[in-house]
Chains A and B, each alone.
Chain A
């Protein structure tokens, strides 16, 4: 099998090209520097199979960041039969630097000028033949989403791999022996790219962004309007998610209930403890998690990905960099926070976009300070019970206050961590704002469901199954004549009382660790001494029957906002940091905030 490598700057449509060639799975974002891990796929062309490796998007190979080191090491290895370097036609001056560098270490290189449509709209006409003669390597033009030029690309790759095109001899001059020498080499690449762009581009060369982008940015980045637009967009996304997820959730639950009854009939001959364990324990918990998690994620992530594809997200990082800078972190953390509104596990993974290791850890640890989708419905329900208001507007305003509180606490926690962690090398905050692009709706939908929603759902189910088992055992084992669930909650009553909570609530938080959506249903199970989940609609009434007060609501809501992350998120944090210590801190820090806030409320409101 031939091995073909795909290299290129971030945001030049490299991943779209990868998808077009392999029909495979690889997230393509409009966020510069998205692909940190390498993706691999394969395709067949004229009877031969080719392995296609998507290198992390880098601007150059000289500054030796982790991604660049990975890319360089790979390109230097003997196993590469052909390297495709993807360039952005609209800014050849910059994008030709990388292929020039790659040519110094790799003998079989081919340049692919992508985004041809965008360039033509801007009046830029690249001349691939001229560029090819100047460089002595093949150059093809493509427009990846429409698959224009991909046949030509595949044919050229085949010719290179089969040895029909003579390889050039790499000079090996990529790094110098001294700092000055390296600088000189870096300069020479930039100068050469500038000259080449001059020769190979007909029409006007442009240093300024497209006029549509400029005009839109005047509003989007405005110091007043910009923040207004951002607030409206975020509220809109959250509103659509909460409203839109309601009915599909109920539908799914109904479907799962019917299926559960059917399964129950099939198991009539099995011992009761067995069917109880399997159906009321594991099945009920897992399906409940799916029913409450799937619809909101299936709405939130596509909307978020649309904003990403359009190019809005880096603008948000631009607007929010100043407040975050004051807390010692960067504006990119604002994006991971927003992703956290959808799902904290996704937010934690998203922290890969932050280049400074220290700021990345801070962003990961503080991500659970913002409430995810799983906590929103519970917060809304508690608002309507605790504040005794049915006015939708008032409820929304109270919810917004809580959201602002969570953002404020994120900043405080970030600042705290910034003070407590060791200073590392300074990483400059450089943010590329790509031109706005029209997002393609259908691929966005498919991609975000496939790559974010299903992945997270899978992890959630893994966590929910054992928890369902434990829950069923606690609800059904009664060594002292009382189910364990009630005995434990009675023991927890005293410490929970200090926090303005009660034992049942605290136990529900512990048992609801697999997913925050489970906390309220479990609470109802404890209060009604039932052995299975009850009806969602009755939650409010049951709580009120058990003497639910304003103080109890307030403390529960605060604890909902600030407590340990769900298991799915904790697993993700461990995967991202590879550090047991940071995973532990991620669990303890928000809990400490929640405990302090609840203590304060409990003291002030007797």
Chain B
């Protein structure tokens, strides 16, 4: 390798090192942003899970209770409401068991 070639290669190598630094910086910046977004989604999901689901269950239970108390003498109606309440409870329990913060 001649001196001139060595000089040129050193120039190119320094240029390449700068570019790789730039790549490294932008990759890490993007990844940190992604992780931040993922964490914030997980937080919102947890808040929704912790407050939203109990609220939904409470509203649903209250409506079912009101309907049963309005039509207490209709056994088929009461039965179907109870069945739907049980089905909802089953799905809620399954949702609680499957809940994962990382699975956003």
Q: Answer yes or no: do A and B interact.
A: no
Give B residues with C-beta under 8 Å from A: none
